[in-house]
Amino acid sequence: MQALVLEEKGKISLRDFDITESLGPDDVRIKPVAVGICGSDVHYYREGNIGEFVVREPMILGHEASGIVLEAGENVKNLKPGDRVCMEPGIPNFKSKETLQGMYNLDPDVQFWATPPVQGCLRESFVHPAGLTFKLPDNVSFHEGALVEPLAIGVYAAKKAAISTGDNALVLGAGTIGIVTALAAEASGCANVFIADVKKEKLDFVKEHYGDKITAIDLSSETVTDTLKNAGVEQVEIVFEASGSEKAFEGITDCMTPQGTIVLIGMPNAPVPIDVVAVQVKEIELKSIFRYVNIYPRVIGMIASGKMNVLPLVTKVYDFNQSLEAFEYAATLPGNEIKIMIDTGF
């Protein structure tokens, strides 16, 4: 079938790819309609690896997707051909200890699309467990459906933070994940949400599209303390660290209330120092997330209800036959782009 294939570091091709997948009784066969380009896709393209995950043989890219059910296994009752769906891209061992305890995202043997050696979804069709496939409401578009995957990280982080209505939150890092986390925090009940970074183009995007919900802080010219003060906020109850930068941990508790919560989302490239005493004297609670778990229905519901307006995040769209151009563009890391989407046309 036609697929977008990462042949090796720095080389992508559109070509026929020999892959056969049988439909099990609990599976569905899906035709992808919209697929987002993730930073991890670009990283594999540019670097050939992410940590211990190394591209050693041709791999189909893509894991943020929505599509249409083509065929359903005999045990599948909740989905049928023609249904519009989105999919969780990580398939755990359904008998593992982690999965049986409800933490399937922590299963060390999870098979995650487009993570070597697992094939991704930028192809004509694929087979996927029905239990990890979710029907989209009529008022949720395919682009919104493809955004559910990155949104799931932000919504899961907001859930982990245990937000109380009226809390104030600060998000460190205004990349895609930082922005969706800020949106999730606001939709989950925060009275004020601040997002801080040094990347002016990202902050300008936030101001343009979400300025009524999120206050952008340009750390190159203003301080978090002054911005909070100008907004009438003395301290924040929650800090979401979404940058993965070592600098983000410098004074991270300074603007926090006693017994506040830090949620760690970004993944630093190396161990980072943290002032344990500063955490202790305020009894700050440290939490962390790894991807997400049991969160897709909540994300879809938040989009369908209008709690989260996410379509502005799709800043550029390419056709499938333009996929090489799309990845070349994404690899330049344009500061004014948030999510680049591929419409497959299959």
Q: Which one-letter DSSP state was computed for residue 57?
A: S
- CATH 3.90.180.10 positions along the chain are 2-135+310-343
Homologous superfamily (CATH) of 154-288 is NAD(P)-binding Rossmann-like Domain (3.40.50.720)
Q: What is the structure's pLDDT at 55?
A: 94
Q: Are strands 133-135 and 84-87 parallel, antiparallel or unpaired?
A: antiparallel
Class of domain 2-135+310-343: alpha beta
Q: Which residue has the tokens 């970004």?
A: 266
- Strand, coil or helix: what is 26? coil
Residues 6+ apart with CB under 8 A from 48: 8, 9, 10, 54, 55
Residue 30 DSSP SS3: strand
**Strand pairing report for 314-319 and 339-343:** parallel
pLDDT at 135: 98
Question: Inter-axis angle of helices 296-304 and 142-161, to 10 degrees?
Answer: 120
> How does DSSP assign 146-204, residue by residue?
HHHHHHHHHHHHHHHHTPPTT-EEEEE--SHHHHHHHHHHHHTT-SEEEEEES-HHHHH
* CATH 3.40.50.720 segments of the chain: 154-288
Helical ranges in 96-141 per DSSP H: 97-100
Place of tokens 């930068």: 245
Please count the other Cβ atoms lying within 10 Å of the Cβ belonging to residue 240. 32
Per-position pLDDT tens, the chain of length 346: 999 999 999 999 999 999 989 999 999 999 999 999 998 999 999 999 988 899 999 999 999 999 999 999 999 999 999 999 999 999 999 999 999 999 999 999 999 999 999 999 999 999 999 999 999 999 999 999 999 999 999 999 999 999 999 999 999 999 999 999 999 999 999 999 999 999 999 999 999 999 999 999 999 999 999 999 999 999 999 999 999 999 999 999 999 999 999 999 999 888 899 999 999 999 999 999 999 999 999 999 999 999 999 999 999 999 999 999 999 999 988 888 999 999 999 8
Q: What is the dihedral angle through the alpha carbons of 224, 227, 231, 233, rounded to the nearest 10 degrees?
A: 30
